[in-house]
Structure 1
Amino acid sequence: MEEKYPVLQNAEPFYFEGNEIGILVSHGFTGSTQSMRPLGEAYAKAGYSVCVPRLKGHGTHYEDMEQTTYQDWIDSIEDGYEWLKKRCGTIFVTGLSMGGTLTLYTAQNHPEVKGIIPINAAVDIPATSGAPSTEIPRFLDAIGSDIKKPGIIELAYEKTPAKSIGEINHLMEKVKGNLSSITCPALIFVSDEDHVVPPGNAQIIYDGISSELKKIVPLKNSYHVATLDHDQELIIESTLAFIKHHS
């Protein structure tokens, strides 16, 4: 699938070649790299090698997204993983929302991953499974910019393709069914109030993975896009401490 639309400003992928410890960073469903750039830049500043790929069909136009499958999104993350693997002996993975789902997927398929940091990760969203497709319009309302901090806007699509909801459901089903294969250390962030992914997803992940070292960190002052919200510094500092401890 060739994308028809140009990449939006601030939605470009972000790469930084640092030391031999790599951090793969994934944005979420209908979002863009803009939501993860503050984290990527902080990790680069700390000296790590960083890769923030743009998921296929994202950061351009929602019609491009409509043409992509969950396998395209997996491929985007796999490409980023390969880029880091060529440069780093140790890799950590973090992601927001569906980026958290892809973080879990990466750990399931690359047991050598040293640690994962899912942020408001999605494995079970009851609201997205339901009515048959005949009753759903082609494009639904946007889900982006669920942010508590005033004046902060997420660079995300103004519409959500109905077809793409089917794709994220397939991805969540796949990942949720294989949680027990994850054994690496996990730092699981969850906002107390989230209007996109039910906060209970964090407990499902915590209970499902086989990791001996796992911890849930509540984000008390952020909504779904916590990486751009009041708890941004807490996420950055906790992640850096987690990576330092486990690398």
Structure 2
Amino acid sequence: KSTIKTKNKKKKIKEVKIIENKIKQNIKDFKNFKITLNDNIFTSKNKIMGFEGIASVNYWEAVSLLLPDEINFKKRNQKPENDVVNSMLNYGYAILASEIAKNIVTLGLDPYCGLLHADLKRRQSLIFDLIEEFRQQIVDKTVFKLINTNQINETNIDKRNNSLKLESRKLLAGEIMAKIHSDLTFENEKVTYAKIIENQTKKLVKSLLNNTEYNGFYLNW
């Protein structure tokens, strides 16, 4: 048993190293990409979304190695079947999206008018643009904590409709809302994520009005 565990551990370390190298290459490629970005807005948007897609695949591949083996998480899926991690992510992102939508509408922006994500009928593309800055810090880390501490697991899926059971939804929602209103130090100030979301939306408004550069929110993992 101990030999099998040791082999599995060595295999996982090797897999993590491979993905780490992929992500480092993603960062290197994106830095080069910023220098060669052309002035055609549609070509530029497609290139950015292409890089985002590649980085996303590598990110979720890395996540799959950090979660317990019994969870059997393979990849990101917006329509999961008996998949507790993806069900939690979907539910968590919906909560975060509502917080971002509130700020977008309050400040007079059109949630259906996307900057990077394409405008599609009935899709609030601008929310998809802004939510990217906050997914990992607010939702992903909360989901991983609940999974790794076994507060939510695959027994919390209602197999009749492939969704989280009510008690698990309540727990996840409570944790995410607590995270949104929790204090953190950002740019030498004590603020909440709710305030940062508000500030970033205001920065976007200012950027659009004055045709100036918009700097997204970033925090180390």
Q: TM-score, normalised by structure 1?
A: 0.25
* Structure with the larger strand share: 1
Q: TM-score, normalised by structure 2?
A: 0.27
Question: Which structure has the greater CA radius of gyration?
Answer: 2
